[in-house]
Structure 1
Amino acid sequence: MRYRKSIKVAMALMLVGLVLIALYVMRAEALAWHLWHQLQGAEHNGLDLGRYQVAIEAKPLASYENTSGLTFNHETGTLFTVLNHTSVIVELQRDGTPVREIKVHGTDDLEGITHVEQDYYVVADEHESRLWLLQLKPGTSEVSVTDANLLKFGMNERGNKNFEGVSWDSVHHRLIVVKERDPKYVMSVAGLYHPAGHKQNQMVVEHLRQYDFALNWALRDLSSVTYHEQSGHLFLLSDESRLLKQFDEAGQAMGSLALWKGFHGLHHNVPQAEGVSIDHEGNIYIVSEPNLFYVFKPPPAAIKEI
């Protein structure tokens, strides 16, 4: 009798384990969160992500590999991405056509890039937990981090789960930085760069805890971040959850873009989303490893002043 009871308990535990594994594989918590926000209707003070449709899907970026990080330069109207094993920055047209390559000497694990203003960009080295402020002029074809301003602040551990994405917030003159996992979090760094071009003397680092609930509950990792200045909203990209999530300044979730087959016109899942940026028209650009390029656009009627 005891033997039969033990078998039943073991089978029940095994069934529960299989259900949990299935839910994890299907990313059920992320899917539920996405569908919940879809049911809430359109957002009135942000991007109406539910109505976005893919315009360019999985376009290969030439022969490049390991694309990671993406930023839009509003002054040039072009995008910049990084290749993290070859330490190359690639400038792209908005349809994904390469414009030029810039070799970065002195680093071998670039993960993030963001445009600050004029010719200035911040790039992130994940393995070394370092951020550099680089000047990339129109004719620049190579640059060395030894000639750049190095930013280090309290996080000096080495490894592959450190700085994963960066985004410049010109409204508050701060850099938004995300850490991939263990633990994953969002922080801001003020004092890195002054809009007049002068480096400030004191940096202020703040853990933005208003996003912690979402990170702990439904975003399995953080692969990139972008700040949308027109709405004041933060967009967090999760490769493992296959979601781009929109948040207001208080950390309230405001809808999402699902990167699964069947959503937003996608014919296939986005395999490994690593970089995201948004242009002045509200178009969303995503790069995925190994070298895939995506553009999501709102319907014409949804384009509005925010």
Structure 2
Amino acid sequence: MKEKSVVQVSKNRFLKAGAAVVVLVTMVSTLYVLKAEALAWHLWHQFKHHDHQGLDLADYEVAIEGKPLANYKNTSGLAFNHETGTLFTVLNDKGLIVEFSLDGEPIREIQVHGTDDLEGISHLEKDFYVVADERESKLWLLQIKPETRDISVKDAKLLRFGLNERGNKNFEGVTYDSVHHRLIVVKERDPKYVMSVTGLYEPDASKQSQIEVQRLRQFDPALKWALRDLSSVTYHEHTGHFFLLSDESKLLKQFNEAGQTLGSLALWKGFHGLHESVPQAEGVSIDDEGNVYIVSEPNLFYVFKPKMHASHT
């Protein structure tokens, strides 16, 4: 009897331990699905007072929600041209750049020959743009004039990185820091990080430039647990701040040069006036007025403005 009792006690303990593991796994899975860590971080920074000169993203509200960009598919990356007052996006399965207005109306198409996995675009100045090829870890410097409808990467300046060859977790976004004359590039994941690239473009054509690549490690602590991936990046010249977009976390986070977090914009249903969550945010840019533009696959367009300027569409 005593031996059976010991066996029964051991069995009960085993079953309880197993049940506890199941409960724990279920809780962790649920928290992961609900993006609990992203939600906690967002709420913390929404209620925390920030003494900075950045954009007050907590005060932003959606002005245009989920507007289809014609019949385009797989929009990825977004750039605001300060000189033309228009936006540019890339289609990552067609090698196509599309220019459109600030209210999401297409203006022209530019066919890019020689690449089919464009994942990011940034306007530098004048007619110069940089596009990122994720699969082959390449950055192309392109000159796109007002009349351009076709362009080949064979005629472009190329920077190729020794990252994951033919990988699908490489460059997801690129932006231009016009103050320090450098490109800011984000790698999607495994691992995710932010880096700067100087020398691919030199505003003063008379100067000799040497390409230098540097990982910006001040962003690493925030990226370890708060943003599950990086899908895009934009630099805001008026504040000197960086805005990192995460598709999986459904967050746009604002950072200063030191890597300090200065607030966020949540892309979930019920936040900032959204009727539905942004399904797959892939590109972000900010205009001179501080309005935030986001594109989501397959072809959805969003505009967020300070509440006093927002009118829902």
TM-score by length of 2: 0.94
Q: Contact 2:35–2:249 (CA<8 Å) still a contact in 1?
A: yes
Q: How far 1:301 moved relative to its partner?
A: 8.1
Distance change >3 Å, CA 50–CA 198, structure 1 → 2: farther
Q: Contact 2:50–2:262 (CA<8 Å) still a contact in 1?
A: no
Distance change >3 Å, CA 199–CA 292, structure 1 → 2: farther
Structure whose CA Rg is larger? 2
Partner of 2:240: 232
Q: How far 1:204 moved relative to its partner?
A: 1.3
Q: How far 1:191 moved relative to its partner?
A: 1.2
Partner of 2:6: none
Match of 1:106 among 105, 110, 114: 114
> Does 1:282 pair with 2:282?
no
Q: How far 1:278 moved relative to its partner?
A: 0.1
Letter in 2 for 1:237: L
Partner of 2:197: 189
Distance change >3 Å, CA 3–CA 258, structure 1 → 2: same
Matches within 5 A, 1:137-176: 137-155=145-163, 157-176=165-184
Q: Contact 2:137–2:161 (CA<8 Å) still a contact in 1?
A: no
Q: Secondary structure at the match of 2:78?
A: strand
**Higher alpha-carbon deviation: 145-154 or 128-137:** 145-154
Match of 1:134 among 142, 167, 178: 142
Gaps of 5+ in 2: 1-8
Q: How far 1:42 moved relative to its partner?
A: 5.5
* 1:174-193 deviations in Å (ceiling 9; x for gaps): 00000000000000001111
Partner of 1:9: 17
Q: How far 1:15 moved relative to its partner?
A: 0.2
Q: How far 1:105 moved relative to its partner?
A: 0.3
Gaps of 5+ in 1: none
Q: Contact 1:43–1:255 (CA<8 Å) still a contact in 2?
A: no
> Does 1:33 pair with 2:41?
yes
Partner of 2:92: 84
* 1:180-218 deviations in Å (ceiling 9; x for gaps): 000000000011111124574311111000000111020
Matches within 5 A, 1:13-92: 13-41=21-49, 44-92=52-100
Letter in 2 for 1:269: S
CA distance in 2 between counterparts of 1:126 and 1:201 reads: 24
Distance change >3 Å, CA 231–CA 17, structure 1 → 2: same
RMSD: 1.4
Q: How far 1:3 moved relative to its partner?
A: 0.9
Partner of 2:4: none
Aligned length: 302
Identity fraction in percent: 71
Distance change >3 Å, CA 211–CA 110, structure 1 → 2: same
> Does 1:264 pair with 2:272?
yes
**Higher alpha-carbon deviation: 60-69 or 196-205:** 196-205
> Does 1:298 pair with 2:306?
yes
* 1:26-59 deviations in Å (ceiling 9; x for gaps): 0000000000011113553100000000000000
CA distance in 2 between counterparts of 1:199 and 1:109 reads: 32
TM-score by length of 1: 0.96
Q: Contact 2:229–2:246 (CA<8 Å) still a contact in 1?
A: yes
